[in-house]
Amino acid sequence: TETDDPVRFAMVGLGWWTREQAMPAVASGDLCETTVLVSGDREKAESVAADSATVDHAVTYEEFHDGAASEAYDAVYVVTPNARHLPFVETAAELGKDVLCEKPMEATVDRAEQMVAACNEHDVTLMVAYRMHTEPAVRRAKDVVDAGYVGDPVFVHGNMSEPILELVPDPDQWRLDWELSGGCATMDIGIYSLNTARFLLDADPVRVQGSVASVRPEFDDVPDEHAAFQVDFPDHTFAVCTASQNAAMASHIRVTGTEGEVRVEPAFYPWDERRLHVSHGGSDIDVSFEQIDQMEEEFEYFSHCLLTGEDPYADGEHGLVDIRALKGVYEAAEDGRVVEL
């Protein structure tokens, strides 16, 4: 059963997502609250803290690693660039704090494995922050597939694309820096098609192949301004996924089966008003979904797990499957190989 005491979160990394999405979501949730902010920039942390009714402590990364204010939070939410997740998760685990870590969990397979090992060693709960598992439209799509309404799934098609340099007009941003990101379109947004395909099929990939390309000079440091990859699931179900950081903003996921089809479109952006389309035996159903706060749903779910001792669905091993598959795409794209997972 849940207690009356909400889970107290330390937010690590105060970028746009933390300030504009996560903090308001936690403020409106019943099971969680933000009590500590952790930043490389003390002044920023203090000014964000001043705007919050629940934050009591603003600390630097160094102070966090030294255990500052550790009595004031129960769990951490890690929202730094991908290749800067591991050190914060390791410190949190050593302090006995549970972890909600942003996707993709780290920039390399090795570092993602170290993250899982640290959380296991210190017996803390680790969840990777995928928004789609608690999204009502995607959950209904899963119900449709699970009920056999599309027959046996044959194909999944997924796309997510955006003009990142228009959204974040900074050529030096970490998403375009291989060392900080571990990959561009594939790692940052290709992960949505892959992970949602796994969720809808209730299966894990067995092999990948793919192509990547960087065309504009701003993408010189990463191989994948654009990416297209194929993911094979057991029983010959194929997912074909595309992702671009330099194309029109669009997203969808579709499962085609022996008897019909289910599609969520738009699918992956938090501000989308999702629509679910189902076709079966010559009839079509089209359902609109009210926009919900995906981050509130996600924080409430994670907090519920911590308060009840339930294991979260997207644990560290779940996140690792994505990192192995996505890193496999880069390997496959180098020389057109098929990479077995």
State which residue, 19 or 280, has the beta carbon closest to ligand NDP: 19
Judge whether 29 and 306 are in contact, CB under 8 Å: no
Minimum Å gap between C-beta 155 and ligand NDP is 25
Q: In what order do the strands lie in the sheet with 339-340?
A: 283-288, 275-280, 260-264, 246-257, 153-163, 237-244, 226-233, 207-213, 339-340
> How many residues bind to ligand NDP according to rule CB under 6 A?
21
Minimum Å gap between C-beta 39 and ligand NDP is 3
Q: In what order do the strands lie in the sheet with 32-39?
A: 57-60, 32-39, 7-12, 75-78, 98-102, 126-129
**In this chain, which stretch among 33-41, 224-232, 305-313, 315-323 interacts with ligand NDP, using CB under 6 A?**
33-41
For every residue of 1-55, DSSP letters joined together read ---SSPEEEEEE--SHHIIIIIHHHHHH-SSEEEEEEEES-HHHHHHHHHT-SS-
Among 2, 40, 179, 338, binds ligand NDP (CB under 6 A): 40
Among 2, 5, 20, 41, binds ligand NDP (CB under 6 A): 41
Question: Could you give the string, one character per residue 179-198, with x where binding to ligand NDP holds by CB under 6 A and - elsewhere?
Answer: -x-------x----------
Q: Is 243 in the site for ligand NDP (CB under 6 A)?
A: no
Tokens 């690693």 locate to 65
Among 34, 35, 70, 82, binds ligand NDP (CB under 6 A): 82
Q: Is 57 in the site for ligand NDP (CB under 6 A)?
A: no
Q: Is 17 in the site for ligand NDP (CB under 6 A)?
A: yes
State which residue, 32 or 278, has the beta carbon closest to ligand NDP: 32
Minimum Å gap between C-beta 88 and ligand NDP is 9
Categorise residue 207: left if φ over 0, alpha if ψ from -120 to 50, beta otherwise: beta
User: Closest Cα partner for 9 from 56, 60, 45?
Assistant: 56
Q: Running DSSP on this structure, what letter comes out for residue 311?
A: P
Among 34, 35, 80, 195, binds ligand NDP (CB under 6 A): 80
**In this chain, which stretch among 36-44, 230-238, 245-253, 255-263 interacts with ligand NDP, using CB under 6 A?**
36-44
Q: Which residues contact ligand NDP (rule: CB under 6 A)?
A: 13-17, 39-41, 44, 79-82, 84, 102-103, 129, 131, 174, 180, 188
